[in-house]
Structure 1
């Protein structure tokens, strides 16, 4: 186990589980992760390997015996008849039969209906009345001559949910972890390997949890397919429900006026709409109108009566176009159905998760470390809905007076939710508070900036905040940094004489979006890049400063592992692109010999040296024997020093072995880490 895993088991004994076990026990059982982890939490919540293996077998046996597969439902019904009583794991929903004045249960996979349920059970578990709950139930079979009587009798019913938890113990244990350790624990709890994500990417993943701990929180995430947008809402918590965007009606979501039955928002903490995007989807305008009222006022009308609810709303959908395409031709809400492409509706959204920043899920991204049993974390998050952390930045910062009440609400709710998740114990530093605040402002700014493109009645807003000294700090979105020429334009149709902006020159090491003619001006400067920024390449970043050099020295102690050596090879490619074919350039690398893989370094460098000769590069290297060098920089013999805080290691993990991935072929399609570069004239 890693040091973090040991610490997790020490401070949360019996409440964590090894995350790779879910796949081990799932087999072909079509059940949410929280059901499986509930069982694993009963038998495998330990770090003892022997106990884990025994527990795995127990859970597999329980699933084999009691989980009902639809194609085996007949066999299970026969078992119940022959044995008289049998335990099943199934999704159970309950409805009131007004003719008999009795509650009747329906078993989703088992295929039996009209099973009598007593009122006490329904009162204890009201969610049985809406869309069903996964349960462990004892079923009895007693045949009766009465044709109206069901032979199936529900003996006992236990929803698969945590029965109790100690919130104070949770907060006390949080204090034993650093902020980075805690974030990694939460990422492992979701099921991902934190080593595969940067800090910003981790926060984007955790933001998906805010609807579970913040009442009436409205969130949207649009992005490419395969990034796990809907996973959290279907698998993570028994308090959330994922519904198809096309299947929602006013009665199902809010209230059935004829029966008076309350819909999903009355029973669930979080209602998520899957496949929400799609211009051609038919949408009921009445649904949009009642949703607008609910998202703004937390209430909806039922005839003459107004009802309130606490459910958060989440909208997830796929985009078909790239971000620059959407910014050039429309806006970032471009994929929504026409009825939802409504400025009044969109203005009620508190945060827009940029789904294009989230990596497509790959096998190596899953964790085999320890994380909370998700049902435990789900109960913790639910209990946090009673707290409000939105004022915790006010002793350090104040929002700009330019920010409207609705913008302020969105920022405050996001800030509150993230602070609950990251710092339930309080005590966040000024820098940590500022990081969360900037993140919250950025997500609301992304909504408002797009609204200004859709509806010209929305005025410009300066999204900034002030510190205690009165210094203003402006917040920008990542797309604004990457595509300034398209981000700030007003989208116009071909008929109205709109003029597209001139493409911006490549002055930040960002790949030009369209060809431009002027040679870049070489000047001393300092550049800062955000995590997840794309469009960056060694050629665009360093190329102009390498052009004309005959000798280049690279000092970087971390050219050791394969991916680091590959980065260096790509740097040499940038040199080749920027030199005349008839010229030769001497490149000297100063690095540190790897303690365990020194032979691989030697072998790789020799291959690079041999290959480089054929293209006019004289490559040499040396290892610093002291092993103490920390500086990372590039020095040319024609007067430039490029200081690198991360060396050449500026890209996040990408599919290095995938031939058909553009991120593998072209650097500008990779997400970057956060890094800084300084160009100095010497």
Structure 2
């Protein structure tokens, strides 16, 4: 095991599980991850390989014998009748039959309805009265000659969820993990491979957990298909429920006026709406009005009676257009149904997650390492809902006085939720707080910016999304990443003059300045052309120092830079291109072969390529004999992985998402 896996198992023995095991035991069972990991937690929460193998077989047998598949429901019914009783795993919902004055259970997969269940069981597990809970239960069959009397009866029932967690132990153990380590533990816990995500991408994933840890948190995430927007709300916690956006009604969500039954917001910590977008969807306007009131005031009414609830509301859906298109022609709420395309409703959103920054999930993005049993993590998050951290940011920072109360509340709730997730022990410094506050402000600013595009009255609030550090006095203004990307000007990197003797274009670099360019995680629109194009002009001797030019995509980056050099050099001019890199025995032969092939290939373009290996280098730069040096914070490897050959990002640099880095432009002695 790697170091992080060893650490998790050492400090959270019995509370972690290897994440690839769920695939081994799931088979064709349509069951949430938390149900499977609940069982795996009983038998496989260890790092002992032999115990894991035995545990997997045990869980497989439990699933095979007790999980109810819809197509095998009649076989299970027959087995219960023959044996008198049988233990099953199914999703159970309970309703009150007021005519017979009894509670009755409905079974999702078994297909049985109106099965009597005792008042004591319902009183102990009131969530059964909502849309259903996965349970392990013993169902009995007792034949009777009485007319209209059902032979089915629930003997015992236990919802599939961890009953008790030690929140103090969880907080105390947090101190043994660094920030990056802890974030990676959480990523692995929700099934993702942290090596495939930038820090900003990890924050986006962890923000999906905030509704589970923060009361009455309203989140919206719109983006392309296939990015896992809804997965976490259906699979990762028994305290959240995912419903189709088209199935929502006032009675189902809030209160049934005819029966008086409380709806979903009364029983669940998180109510998430899947497939929320869609301009042609029909929506109950009355429901929108009730939701607006609930999202603002944490309450809803039935007649004269007012009910309070703490359920967070999450809205996920697909966008119809690219971000650049929406920024230019409409707004980022463009895909919503007409009745939800309401500024008063959307102003209640505390956080708008940029779903377009999340890459489509590929196989390598899932982890097979250790993480918390998701049911254990779900109970921890539920316990943390009791804590109020919404004023914690004020220890270090003061928000601009122009920020409205609703904006401040939104920022504070997002900040508090992420602090609970990443720093449950409340042990973090100002720089850590700054990272989270910046992200929280950006996700509220995204909402406000779109409201101003939709309704000019919002422009009357001259809000400056900024804050001041109480320790340094520095004032920091926040802009969204899509603002940065869509205000980058595509400028030709050079001015073209005509050579008087040959009447051919003569390329010269003008008005170049020293300075620094900051690239943010997930930023797009960046290419070698707009980073280096100007600075390569008139250079005939170029030296690249980068210790990591060995993997296929790193070699691709080098060739793309060589292509740019060929486009920038003057015709009939030779350019010497020298690479200094390091390597190890696993890659050096392949790299040497690739470099030799490059050398031969680039000769035809008048680029004389050479290379050397130096195990002592660390810094990364491009030095040119035209008087310029570019210091590369990450080297040439500035982009995140693409989806491969059939992903347009593989061929268009500007479409790729970047990793955070800094690029510095320096004037040096001209050695030409």
Q: CA RMSD in A?
A: 1.5
Indicate whether 1:664 and 2:654 are aligned.
no
1:448-597 equivalences in 2 (<5 Å): 448-458=448-458, 459-468=461-470, 469-484=472-487, 505=491, 521-597=511-587
Q: Which runs of 5+ in 2 are unaligned?
A: 495-506
**Deviation, structure 1 residue 305:** 1.2
C-alpha spacing 1:518/1:641, structure 2 compared with 1 (3 Å): closer
Match of 2:187 in 1: 187
The answer to which of 9-18 and 424-433 deviates more is 424-433
1:304-383 equivalences in 2 (<5 Å): 304-383=304-383
Contact 2:493-2:534 at 8 Å conserved across structures: no
Contact 1:288-1:345 at 8 Å conserved across structures: yes
Match of 2:139 in 1: 139
**Deviation, structure 1 residue 598:** 1.5
SS in 1 for 2:295: helix
**Deviation, structure 1 residue 467:** 0.9
Match of 1:615 in 2: 605
Match of 2:503 in 1: none
Match of 1:202 in 2: 202
SS in 1 for 2:111: coil
Distance, in Å, in 2 between the alignment partners of 1:303 and 1:155 is 38
Distance, in Å, in 2 between the alignment partners of 1:193 and 1:171 is 24
SS in 1 for 2:395: coil
**Deviation, structure 1 residue 563:** 2.5
Distance, in Å, in 1 between the alignment partners of 2:7 and 2:393 is 30
**Deviation, structure 1 residue 506:** 6.5
Distance, in Å, in 2 between the alignment partners of 1:519 and 1:26 is 61
1:71-82 equivalences in 2 (<5 Å): 71-82=71-82
1:209-228 equivalences in 2 (<5 Å): 209-228=209-228
Distance, in Å, in 1 between the alignment partners of 2:258 and 2:153 is 31
**Per-residue CA distance 1:569-620 (angstroms, 9 max, x = gap):** 2211221222345332110111123243211121111111111112221100
C-alpha spacing 1:13/1:290, structure 2 compared with 1 (3 Å): same
Match of 1:494 in 2: none
**Deviation, structure 1 residue 153:** 1.3
Q: What is the number of equivalent residue pairs in this alignment? A: 653
Match of 2:265 in 1: 265
SS in 1 for 2:17: strand
TM-score, length-normalised on structure 2?
0.95
SS in 1 for 2:524: coil
1:264-283 equivalences in 2 (<5 Å): 264-283=264-283
Match of 2:237 in 1: 237
Contact 1:553-1:636 at 8 Å conserved across structures: yes
Distance, in Å, in 2 between the alignment partners of 1:471 and 1:664 is 40
Contact 1:452-1:460 at 8 Å conserved across structures: no
Match of 1:4 in 2: 4
**Deviation, structure 1 residue 634:** 0.6
**Deviation, structure 1 residue 353:** 0.3
**Per-residue CA distance 1:159-208 (angstroms, 9 max, x = gap):** 10102111111111111111110000000000000000011100100000
SS in 2 for 1:135: strand
**Deviation, structure 1 residue 274:** 0.4
**Deviation, structure 1 residue 135:** 0.5
Distance, in Å, in 1 between the alignment partners of 2:521 and 2:297 is 36
**Per-residue CA distance 1:416-445 (angstroms, 9 max, x = gap):** 000000111112011001111111111101
**Deviation, structure 1 residue 318:** 0.2
Distance, in Å, in 1 between the alignment partners of 2:186 and 2:599 is 45
**Deviation, structure 1 residue 504:** 5.8
The answer to which of 577-586 and 533-542 deviates more is 577-586
Indicate whether 1:676 and 2:662 are aligned.
yes
Match of 2:593 in 1: 603
Contact 2:90-2:136 at 8 Å conserved across structures: yes
**Deviation, structure 1 residue 562:** 2.8
SS in 1 for 2:640: coil
Distance, in Å, in 2 between the alignment partners of 1:184 and 1:669 is 27
Distance, in Å, in 1 between the alignment partners of 2:529 and 2:224 is 27
SS in 1 for 2:260: coil
Match of 2:384 in 1: 384
The answer to which of 326-335 and 140-149 deviates more is 140-149
Distance, in Å, in 2 between the alignment partners of 1:34 and 1:417 is 22
TM-score, length-normalised on structure 1?
0.94
**Per-residue CA distance 1:107-159 (angstroms, 9 max, x = gap):** 11111122111111001111111101000111111111112111111111111
C-alpha spacing 1:668/1:383, structure 2 compared with 1 (3 Å): same
SS in 1 for 2:452: helix
Contact 1:506-1:520 at 8 Å conserved across structures: no
Contact 2:509-2:535 at 8 Å conserved across structures: no
**Deviation, structure 1 residue 519:** 8.1
Distance, in Å, in 1 between the alignment partners of 2:280 and 2:418 is 35
SS in 2 for 1:556: strand
Match of 2:170 in 1: 170
Contact 1:70-1:110 at 8 Å conserved across structures: yes
Indicate whether 1:250 and 2:256 are aligned.
no
SS in 2 for 1:63: helix
Contact 1:560-1:594 at 8 Å conserved across structures: no
Distance, in Å, in 2 between the alignment partners of 1:188 and 1:342 is 37
Distance, in Å, in 2 between the alignment partners of 1:478 and 1:102 is 56
**Deviation, structure 1 residue 654:** 1.8
Distance, in Å, in 1 between the alignment partners of 2:483 and 2:258 is 49
Contact 1:87-1:139 at 8 Å conserved across structures: yes
**Per-residue CA distance 1:303-343 (angstroms, 9 max, x = gap):** 11111110000000001211110010001111011111111
**Per-residue CA distance 1:195-249 (angstroms, 9 max, x = gap):** 0001110010000000001000000000000000000000010000001001100
Distance, in Å, in 2 between the alignment partners of 1:552 and 1:581 is 17
Match of 1:498 in 2: none
C-alpha spacing 1:63/1:549, structure 2 compared with 1 (3 Å): same
Q: Which runs of 5+ in 1 are unaligned?
A: 486-502, 509-516
Contact 1:594-1:601 at 8 Å conserved across structures: no
Contact 1:29-1:69 at 8 Å conserved across structures: yes
Match of 2:49 in 1: 49
SS in 2 for 1:557: strand
**Per-residue CA distance 1:279-324 (angstroms, 9 max, x = gap):** 1111111000000000000011111111111000000000121111
Match of 1:114 in 2: 114
Distance, in Å, in 1 between the alignment partners of 2:660 and 2:184 is 18
C-alpha spacing 1:38/1:133, structure 2 compared with 1 (3 Å): same
**Deviation, structure 1 residue 639:** 1.4
Distance, in Å, in 2 between the alignment partners of 1:329 and 1:391 is 38
SS in 2 for 1:219: strand
